[in-house]
Structure 1
Amino acid sequence: MYLAFYGLKKEPFHTTPDPNFLYLSPSHKEAMGAIIYGIERRKGFVAIYGEVGVGKTTIIRAYLEKTSDRKQKTVYILNPVLSFHGLLTDIFRSLDLVPSHDDSAEMVNQLQEALIQEYRRDSTVVLVIDEAQNMPVKTLEQLRLLSNLETSTDKLIQIVLIGQPELTTLLNHPTLKSLNQRIALRATIHPLQQKESQAYIEHRIALSSSTGAPLFTQGAMKLIIREAQGIPRRINILCDNALITGYGKQQKPVSINEVREILVDMNGSRSSYLVKWAVGVAVVILLAIGAFLLSPIFLPGNAGVSQVGLSERDSQNVRATSSEKMSQESIGQPGEPLMPMASSGSEIDRPIPHTDRGGDGVMTKTPVEKVIESAKSDGKIRDHTEAASKSSSVLPVTRAVREGDNLSQIANEAYGSSSRQYVEWLRRHNPEISDPDIILPGQKIVLPEYVKE
C-alpha cells in the first residue's frame, strides 16, 4: 500500500517471523549460539526461553533456513498439546515413516532403528517443539525416552524446547526432574534495550528502503520505542500502523502525531488517560479539602476569629488568672499598700487579665478584639476569611491537551512564557510526563500557580 510513497522495496515491518530480517541483539546471539552448538555437537536437549514476541521463533527459523542444504531432517511441532502417542505419530509422519505397531513402546523401538540409519548416513534429526510450556507434563516426562536413543558417544535425536518463561517453572515440576537434568544448554532472549530497539527499526528500514530516507521523525521513533517496551513484534505492529496512517495523511516522514493517533486506536490510550487524570484531579481536590479542614484557621462556631488568636487568648487568660492570684497575695490585709509588680515584654506577651482597674477605681473589661487587632497589625495572625479564601485558591487548574500541543506551548499559555523554568515547573507537578515533547491529546495537564524559587 505505502511502498512507493515511502520509497520501499518491500514491507519492513511484517509481523510474521521472517528470517531475512533477523536482528541479533546480545541475547539473540546467545540463543542462536546455544541452538547451533547443541545440534551440531549432538548434545540432546536445548531449551530457549523468552517472553511473547521477543523473536524465539524467528531465531529457530533463521537457523533452520541456514541449514536447509545440510544433511538434516527437522520435525517442527507447532501445537504441543499432544499425548506421547500423538507426538510419536507426528514424528513418524514428518520422517515419512509408517508405524508397524500402534503401541507407543513399539513405535519408539521402530524410531530408534530409523534414527540409527540416519546417523550412519551422517544425517541429523532435529525435533523442535514450539510453545513447549503448553505441552502436558505427562508427555514431557515421556519425552526423555527419546533422549535415551543414543550411541555410545552421541544422541540420535536433537530436541529443542522453545517456550515462554513459564516453561522454566514447568521443567521444575517434581515429575520432570529427570528431564530437566538432561537439558544440556539453555538461553533466554530478553526484550530489547532502548538503543537496541532503535537499531532494530533502522536495521529493518535499511533492508527495505530503496532511497535511504528516514521513515519516522525522532519524536515518532522515541514514542514507538517507549510504547513497544522492547518487544520486536510490538515494534513491528506500531511501525506498520504508523506508516499506514502516515500514508493516508500523505505525511513523510511519519510524525509523532500519527503515532499518537494509532495508539489511541489500538489500545484506547485516550480513555485510559482520561480515567487516570480524573482520578488524579479527584485526589488533588480531596487533599486540598482535607488540608483546609485540618488547618489551624478552621474552627467551627467562631467565625472571624483565628485559631492562633484564640490559642493566644487562652494563654493570656491563664496568665491573667495567675496574675490576679499573685496580686491578691501581695495585697495582704486591708489597708496595706500594694506591692508593685515588675513587667517586661511587648503588649502581646504581657499577661492581659479580663478586668482592669481604671483610674477612678471602677472595674472595666479589656476586649479580646483589642488583642487580636494588635496581633493582626504585627502580622502574627490572619483573619479567618483571608486564610479561607487563600485555601480555596489552592485547587489546581487543569487543561486538556489538544492535537499538536507540547509542554512549552502550554507553559506559554498558562504563565505567559515558555522559558525552561516554567516548563520544568509543569513537569515537576505532572510527574507522569517523562518527555515534554510527548504528551497525548486528551491528557490532562495540571497548571499550578507558579511560585518563584
Structure 2
Amino acid sequence: MYLKYFGLTELPFGITPDTSFTYSVLCHQEALNTLLLALSQGEGFVKISGEVGTGKTLLCRRLLQTLDNGWVTAYLHNPNLVPETLFLALAEELGIKDVAGLDQYHLVRRINHALLDFARVKKRVVVCIDEAQAMPVATLEALRLLSNLETEKRKLLHIVLFGQTELDEKLHRPEARQLLQRIAFHYRLGALKKSEIGNYVAHRLRVAGYRGDGLFTPAALRALYRASGGTPRLINILAHKSLMSVFGEGCQIAKVCHVRAARMDTEGARRVGWLWG
C-alpha cells in the first residue's frame, strides 16, 4: 500500500471507529457534553441520532472511555432482538450468572437485584445501545419498563440510544410515545463544517505518522468536502482512495483530479457537476 511511500505508520483514513484518531469537531464535542450532563443529572434515557457515517459508534466509544470507575457499563451493538433476548444480552454484559432458562419475569427480577447490588456499592450503571433504530417497538417498550427500576433517590439504570434518523421516526409512532416522553436529553449529530475538514484530515495524517507538509491541496480539500458533504466516513473513504491514486501515479500531493477519481469510484459520494470547475 502507500504507508512507506508517505512515511506513515498506519492507515490514516480507516472506517472503523478508532478512538485514537478522534478529532473533536464541534458537533461531536457538543454531543459528548450532552451525554455527560444527562448522566450526571441521573436521566434514565438519552438519545443520539444522526445520518449514516456521522460517527455515532465512535461517540459511543468515547463516552465509554470517558466514564470513570464509578460507572458499570454495558454495550449492546446488535439490538434487533425480542425483549427476552435483549434482557439476556444485558444480563451477560452486566456479569449476571445463571440466567439461562429463566422466563422474562424472573430474568427482570435478577437484573433488578444486580442493579440494587451495584447501587449499594455506589456504582451507577449505563447501557449504551448502538444501531438502536433496529430495535423492534416491542423491545423499545420493554426497555422503557426496565428503566422504571429505581430507588427513592435515583434511577438504577441509565440507557443511551445511538441510532440513525430512522430511530427518531420510530419513536414518534403512537405506540412509542411513552418512551419518547422519557427522553429528557437528545442530540442529532451532523456533518463536519467546511472550515473543519482541513484540520480533520491533517489530524488523522499526524496520528498515522505523517510529518510532511500538507498532503492535500486546498482545492482538493474543498473537493473532498463537496463530494462527501462533510460526512466523516465518506471523507475517510475518499481521502484513502485519493492517496491510492497519488501513490499509483508516483505523485507527492493529492489534487482535485485524485479526489475526482475517488468520487467516481465511491457509492454515496455526491455527484456535484460544478465541483470540478
Q: TM-score, normalised by structure 2?
A: 0.92
1:57-96 map, 5 Å: 57-67=57-67, 70-96=69-95
Q: What is the match of residue 258 of structure 2?
A: 258
Name the count of aligned residue pairs.
275
Provide, for residues 254-288 of structure 1, a one-character-per-residue CA deviation record: whole Å limited to 9, x for no partner: 2222222222333499xx89xxxxxxxxxxxxxxx
Distance change in 2, residues 1:110/1:190 (3 Å): same
In percent, how many aligned pairs have the same letter? 37
Distance 2:157 2:26 in 1: 28
Provide, for residues 380-433 of structure 1, a one-character-per-residue CA deviation record: whole Å limited to 9, x for no partner: xxxxxxxxxxxxxxxxxxxxxxxxxxxxxxxxxxxxxxxxxxxxxxxxxxxx53
Alignment counterpart, residue 433 of structure 1, candidates 243, 263, 274: 274
Question: Offset of 1:101 from its aligned partner?
Answer: 5.8
Over the residues paired in the alignment, what is the CA RMSD in angstroms? 2.1
Q: What is the match of residue 426 of structure 1?
A: none
Q: What is the match of residue 192 of structure 2?
A: 192
Q: What is the match of residue 55 of structure 2?
A: 55
Answering whether residue 245 of structure 2 is matched by residue 245 of structure 1, we say yes
Q: What is the match of residue 129 of structure 1?
A: 129
Contact 1:130/1:163 (CA < 8 Å) preserved in 2?
A: yes
Distance change in 2, residues 1:45/1:211 (3 Å): same
Query: Counterpart amino acid of 2:91?
Result: F
Contact 2:238/2:266 (CA < 8 Å) preserved in 1?
A: no
Question: Offset of 1:7 from its aligned partner?
Answer: 2.2
> What are structure 2's unaligned runs of at least 5 residues?
none
1:88-237 map, 5 Å: 88-97=87-96, 98-99=98-99, 102-237=102-237
Three-state SS of the structure 2 residue aligned to 1:27 is helix
Three-state SS of the structure 2 residue aligned to 1:11 is coil
Q: What is the match of residue 11 of structure 1?
A: 11
Distance 1:139 1:268 in 2: 31
Higher relative contact order (CA 8 A, sep 6+): 2
Three-state SS of the structure 2 residue aligned to 1:433 is helix
Question: Offset of 1:197 from its aligned partner?
Answer: 2.2
Provide, for residues 174-230 of structure 1, a one-character-per-residue CA deviation record: whole Å limited to 9, x for no partner: 121211111121111111121122232122223334423211122222211110101
Contact 1:206/1:212 (CA < 8 Å) preserved in 2?
A: no
Q: What is the match of residue 375 of structure 1?
A: none
Distance 1:29 1:202 in 2: 19
Question: Offset of 1:55 from its aligned partner?
Answer: 0.8
Distance 1:190 1:87 in 2: 29
Query: Counterpart amino acid of 2:59?
Result: I
Distance 1:214 1:112 in 2: 55
Distance change in 2, residues 1:65/1:231 (3 Å): same
Query: Counterpart amino acid of 1:234?
Result: L
Question: Offset of 1:56 from its aligned partner?
Answer: 0.9
Q: TM-score, normalised by structure 1?
A: 0.58
Distance 1:38 1:179 in 2: 16
Provide, for residues 360-386 of structure 1, a one-character-per-residue CA deviation record: whole Å limited to 9, x for no partner: xxxxxxxxxxxxxxxxxxxxxxxxxxx
Contact 2:197/2:221 (CA < 8 Å) preserved in 1?
A: no
Worse overlay, 227-236 or 128-137: 128-137
Contact 1:42/1:156 (CA < 8 Å) preserved in 2?
A: no
Question: Offset of 1:165 from its aligned partner?
Answer: 1.5
Contact 2:52/2:164 (CA < 8 Å) preserved in 1?
A: yes
Distance 2:85 2:268 in 1: 42
Question: Offset of 1:39 from its aligned partner?
Answer: 2.4
Three-state SS of the structure 1 residue aligned to 2:254 is coil
Three-state SS of the structure 2 residue aligned to 1:38 is helix
Three-state SS of the structure 2 residue aligned to 1:105 is helix
Distance 1:49 1:249 in 2: 40
Larger radius of gyration: 1
Three-state SS of the structure 1 residue aligned to 2:73 is strand
Query: Counterpart amino acid of 1:76?
Result: Y
Provide, for residues 10-38 of structure 1, a one-character-per-residue CA deviation record: whole Å limited to 9, x for no partner: 32211101111212222212210121122
Distance change in 2, residues 1:141/1:19 (3 Å): same
Distance change in 2, residues 1:156/1:8 (3 Å): same
Worse overlay, 228-237 or 126-135: 126-135
Distance change in 2, residues 1:267/1:128 (3 Å): closer
Query: Counterpart amino acid of 1:261?
Result: A
Distance change in 2, residues 1:161/1:145 (3 Å): same
Worse overlay, 200-209 or 52-61: 200-209
